[in-house]
Structure 1
Amino acid sequence: MNKKSMILLTALFLILATGCSKQQAARPPQEVAVKAMQVIQKDTPVTYEFVGEVVAKDEVPIKARVSGNIARKLVKGGDQVQIGQALFEIDRRQYLTTVADAQAQVAQSQAVLSNIRRDVNRYQQLADQGGIAIQSLDTSISQAEQAQAQVNAYQAKLDQAQNDLTDTLIVSPVNGRIGVGELSVGEYVVAGSTELATVSTVDPVQVRFSMSENEYLKFAKMGSSPDAWGQNLRLILSDGSEYPETGQLEQIDRGLANQTGTLAMKAAFSNPQQLLVPGMFARIIAIGENRTGALLVPQRAVQEMLGKTFVTVVDAENKAATRPVTVGPKVGSFQVVEEGLTAQDVVVVEGFAKVQPGTPLAVTLIGPDDLNIPVVK
């Protein structure tokens, strides 16, 4: 191929390439299919959510009142126990001996007292007849009083010995569930020191949660006292289901914790089916103020990047546009938008990750029912 032919071929190639570029430039960009939803505007009760932990209302450590070796374990860890139910038995042989000794001492002292009282009666008769000096009668009466005091002392020892014998049978002080103990039959326990087990009450239970300083101020500034928002609390379990019983705020700490700056609280929930057990985590839902004409978008439509929050909206030309927004509290599966949107805006709910600002959109309008997320009533 000569030089002239190569020049002609190169020119032809450039002409064809230029034509293709112009055709590509003239072709409109392809639309991206997305699902979008009209911003919802409605009067909305705002809810506040706190992470909580289920705790027993009362946890009672079980300790023996007497020392000795464990003779019997009458329950297993995890059993339901009733108040007064026997849990453990301490070896009672030494306490039976102590009771027998105390009974013998009481009987002996009572016999001594009985003899002295008979002497007092005889001396009284003789004194009335002038047969003995009054001093002898007084001495006999004093001996009777001493003997009576001895009887009382031995009787007190007997009462204590009998109480110790009774205390060898350790009973539950409350209704509840007993923990899994580590002590075995034969182990020695020390009175008032060794912890045999713990009994936790099961109905009602409490849910412990904390409120930040800003959240506390928010409630205080809107004039809502704990007596108002602390009633009819809802509980969302870890699997997302809602607990069927509502709760009431029972305890508020005296002040903010120094380390966390939060205010600790406890709410009580009845637990008739014993579904709630200590250690479970759940979310407390409290109803706050009612917002008139609140703007709501699905939480899944809200995007966060570099500390900023924004949504993708469908503009007047059916193209994607990024809109920075200021969000408020969550309401169920929706988010209150305080600034950045109007009730006329349409927000992209699904597919926004595939588009850039200015991308043409093939929009499918959907409603809350299509997303399987209910609007707060």
Structure 2
Amino acid sequence: MLSKGWFKIICIFTLVSTTTLIFFGCGAKQQKPAAGAQVKAMAAIQQDTPLIFEYAGEVKGTNEVAVQSRVSGSVVDKYIHGGEQVSAGQALYRIDGGNYISALNQAKATLAQSQAQLSNAQQDLSRYTQLINSDAISDQTYTNQQQTVAAYQAVVEANVAQVNKAQKDYDDTIVRAPIDGRLDVNDVATGVYATAGSTTLVTLGTVNPVYVQFSISENEYLKFNKIFNGNFIGKEVTLTLSDGSDYPITGKIAQVDRSMGNGTSTGTLTVKALFNNPDTLLMPGMFARVKLTGETVKDAILVPQRAVQQLLNKSFVMIVGDDGKSVSRVVTLGPKVGSYYIIQDGINPGDNVVVEGLTKLREGVPLNVTTVTADQLGLSLTSGDNTSADAGTDNNADSDSSGSGQNQ
């Protein structure tokens, strides 16, 4: 028969053993292999794809004029407010005309005096004509009178010119708008002294239509020259504003510069597209993205930009293998088109490309795949993909051609 001491030892040993079995049993259950990595994937797309080239552009007025007075003097009246829309010929300012009205009156008086002298000389010549017919005066006297009339006639003509000039100077004390357009807000105030041909009273510019100016690289120029058979003029372009909205009116290329760089070393060609601007939404100085459609790539294979990872100058795409595990593919990137890259090599049409869940995802990992569509991801062929991939690497590879343009 066991003593009480031994009985206590046996009980403690049994309790410890049972607790250990329970603990390790629970641990074994917790270390059960986890399900596959949670990812989202979509099928690579194959379709004919137009290349859309995008450029940074600046809105410019089609006509801009610095309004200056043709006569000097103090501004005594102002008929407009900065920012107004005005019409050609509309009065903007009035210059003090005191000196100019005096000069006009003086010129008119001088003209009247010379006209009176001419009239008297003409009357004498008429009388001399009768006298010479009767041999009452000499030929020399008659000739002298003819010359006197001619001299007075020349004086009258000169004085008429002086009156016209004085009248124009007086009329020019009213400064008028040379074109239809909108005034700048930086206009001068009443009391400012305006120097003729020097002082800018206000700047006036046309706001409908407007130009959007952008630059293309030499390589892009050569490419477009082939695509458009050497004629850029009239090609349609679209515009995306700085807030990401699309301008609703399509523009057309209206001007192409005559030389690369136009005297600078940038090696770019300046192009202007003309846009109607009936609601004056586009204002000179605004920046926007100009989109120009180029060639169409036949049967292009497209994958979302967010699916592309880069490491050591190589580009990778993770796909879902036939066995449900992740497979890494090295790919050759083509141009960007909206939210996608054109893949030149490494992906086949229909391959399931991982687009979300790329963080720390390695090759050969079992995947738990949720299939998604381009619409669900908000992808588009016309606008870029603003959602960064979660790959932990730089996946914004830039495969654009050299120059200012970017395929979108």
Please report the TM-score for the alignment, with normalisation by the length of structure 1.
Answer: 0.88
- Checking the alignment, whether the CA contact within 8 Å between 1:230 and 1:286 is kept in structure 2 is no
Residue of structure 2 aligned with 1:232, choices 230, 236, 254: 236
Deviation at 1:23, TM superposition (A): 6.3
In structure 1, how many angstroms separate the alpha carbons of the residues matched to 2:232 and 2:44?
30
In structure 1, the partner of 2:185 is 180
In structure 2, how many angstroms separate the alpha carbons of the residues matched to 1:46 and 1:219?
11
Residue of structure 1 aligned with 2:159, choices 144, 147, 154: 154
In structure 2, how many angstroms separate the alpha carbons of the residues matched to 1:91 and 1:49?
53
In structure 1, the partner of 2:88 is 83
Report how many aligned residue pairs link the two structures: 359
Deviation at 1:240, TM superposition (A): 1.4
Equivalent runs, 1:126-205 vs 2, <5 Å: 126-205=131-210
In structure 2, how many angstroms separate the alpha carbons of the residues matched to 1:136 and 1:110?
22
In structure 2, how many angstroms separate the alpha carbons of the residues matched to 1:229 and 1:223?
13
- Checking the alignment, whether the CA contact within 8 Å between 1:54 and 1:280 is kept in structure 2 is yes
Question: Would you say 1:241 and 2:245 are equivalent positions?
Answer: yes
Deviation at 1:147, TM superposition (A): 0.5
**232 and 195 in structure 1: CA distance in 2 versus 1, 3 angstrom threshold:** same
1:186-233 per-residue CA deviation (whole Å, 9 max, x = no partner) reads 11111111111211111110000011122223323x432364685221
- Checking the alignment, whether the CA contact within 8 Å between 1:368 and 1:375 is kept in structure 2 is no
- Checking the alignment, whether the CA contact within 8 Å between 2:227 and 2:294 is kept in structure 1 is no
Residue of structure 2 aligned with 1:359, choices 365, 384, 388: 365
In structure 1, the partner of 2:287 is 281
In structure 2, the partner of 1:325 is 331
- Checking the alignment, whether the CA contact within 8 Å between 2:339 and 2:380 is kept in structure 1 is yes
SS at match of 1:180: coil
In structure 2, how many angstroms separate the alpha carbons of the residues matched to 1:225 and 1:96?
62
In structure 1, the partner of 2:316 is 310
User: What is the letter of the counterpart of residue 360 of structure 1?
Assistant: P
Deviation at 1:247, TM superposition (A): 0.9
Equivalent runs, 1:61-100 vs 2, <5 Å: 61-100=66-105
Which has the larger displacement, 263-272 or 172-181?
172-181
In structure 1, how many angstroms separate the alpha carbons of the residues matched to 2:308 and 2:111?
85
- Checking the alignment, whether the CA contact within 8 Å between 1:229 and 1:286 is kept in structure 2 is no
In structure 2, the partner of 1:251 is 255
User: What is the letter of the counterpart of residue 336 of structure 2?
Assistant: K
Deviation at 1:182, TM superposition (A): 4.5
In structure 1, how many angstroms separate the alpha carbons of the residues matched to 2:67 and 2:190?
16
In structure 1, how many angstroms separate the alpha carbons of the residues matched to 2:307 and 2:86?
51
**244 and 219 in structure 1: CA distance in 2 versus 1, 3 angstrom threshold:** same
In structure 2, how many angstroms separate the alpha carbons of the residues matched to 1:145 and 1:272?
60
In structure 2, how many angstroms separate the alpha carbons of the residues matched to 1:206 and 1:49?
16
SS at match of 1:44: strand
In structure 1, the partner of 2:341 is 335
Equivalent runs, 1:37-52 vs 2, <5 Å: 37-52=42-57
Give percent identity, aligned residues only: 44
In structure 1, how many angstroms separate the alpha carbons of the residues matched to 2:158 and 2:301?
82
- Checking the alignment, whether the CA contact within 8 Å between 1:55 and 1:208 is kept in structure 2 is yes
In structure 2, how many angstroms separate the alpha carbons of the residues matched to 1:288 and 1:200?
33
Which has the larger displacement, 209-218 or 47-56?
209-218
**259 and 324 in structure 1: CA distance in 2 versus 1, 3 angstrom threshold:** farther
SS at match of 1:78: coil
In structure 2, how many angstroms separate the alpha carbons of the residues matched to 1:118 and 1:52?
74
User: What is the letter of the counterpart of residue 316 of structure 1?
Assistant: D
SS at match of 1:285: strand
- Checking the alignment, whether the CA contact within 8 Å between 1:229 and 1:287 is kept in structure 2 is no
In structure 1, how many angstroms separate the alpha carbons of the residues matched to 2:270 and 2:309?
31
Question: Would you say 1:110 and 2:115 are equivalent positions?
Answer: yes
SS at match of 2:135: coil
In structure 1, how many angstroms separate the alpha carbons of the residues matched to 2:206 and 2:213?
15
Which has the larger displacement, 98-107 or 331-340?
331-340
In structure 2, how many angstroms separate the alpha carbons of the residues matched to 1:328 and 1:229?
28
Deviation at 1:237, TM superposition (A): 1.1
In structure 2, the partner of 1:8 is none
- Checking the alignment, whether the CA contact within 8 Å between 2:187 and 2:203 is kept in structure 1 is no
In structure 1, how many angstroms separate the alpha carbons of the residues matched to 2:78 and 2:179?
18
User: What is the letter of the counterpart of residue 100 of structure 1?
Assistant: N
In structure 2, how many angstroms separate the alpha carbons of the residues matched to 1:178 and 1:201?
9
In structure 2, the partner of 1:9 is none
1:298-323 per-residue CA deviation (whole Å, 9 max, x = no partner) reads 22323345544332222233233333
User: What is the letter of the counterpart of residue 76 of structure 2?
Assistant: A
Please report the TM-score for the alignment, with normalisation by the length of structure 2.
Answer: 0.82
User: What is the letter of the counterpart of residue 242 of structure 1?
Assistant: D
Deviation at 1:62, TM superposition (A): 0.9
- Checking the alignment, whether the CA contact within 8 Å between 1:226 and 1:249 is kept in structure 2 is no
In structure 2, how many angstroms separate the alpha carbons of the residues matched to 1:128 and 1:118?
16
SS at match of 1:84: coil
